[in-house]
Amino acid sequence: MNHDVRRDGVDHPAQPEPQAGGDLTATAPAPALADQITQDPALRTLRSTTRGFAFPVTVGFLLWYLLYVLLSSYAHGFMAATLFGSINVALLMGLLQFVSTFAIAAWYARFANRRLDPIAEELRHRYAAPTAAEQAPRNATPQEAGE
């Protein structure tokens, strides 16, 4: 098989040539279907709901992290203050960075399960190609249906 070396220097397998009368678009979704999916109000709702969660939470976490970095850099006395035992403010805030990361991940998982997954499942069901089992005749045996 011929190979194609592109600008990135990586040896990529050559793209298959269309056979006489053949069509390479059989494996790719039809542009009309792609346009139909992107125009679907459910997809727009899914995207806006995702952005409505992700952007504010990301900004909030970055501000929280920036506060930690700035206090570590410019407020040495505050960060060195002992809270209890050998635990100071800097150590507590550093550990809270990990806690907040895992809390945000759990929060997003719950959010996705409740708000995003139902919409995504609806879109998947609406636009999914039928599987071989769905296309098999109803009276076919499992061996005939390709199972």
Per-residue model confidence as pLDDT tens digits over 13-60? 666 565 555 555 556 556 788 888 889 999 999 999 999 999 999 999
Average pLDDT over residues 82-92: 95
| Burial (Cβ within 10 Å: 0-12, 13-18, ≥19) of residue 71 | middle
Is 60 exceeded by the pLDDT of residue 121? Answer: yes
Confidence of residue 133 (pLDDT cuts 50, 70, 90): low
Is 90 exceeded by the pLDDT of residue 10? Answer: no
Show the CA angle centred on residue 35, arms to residues 31 and 39, nearest 5°: 170
Classified as helix, coil or strand, 84 is: strand
| Burial (Cβ within 10 Å: 0-12, 13-18, ≥19) of residue 114 | exposed
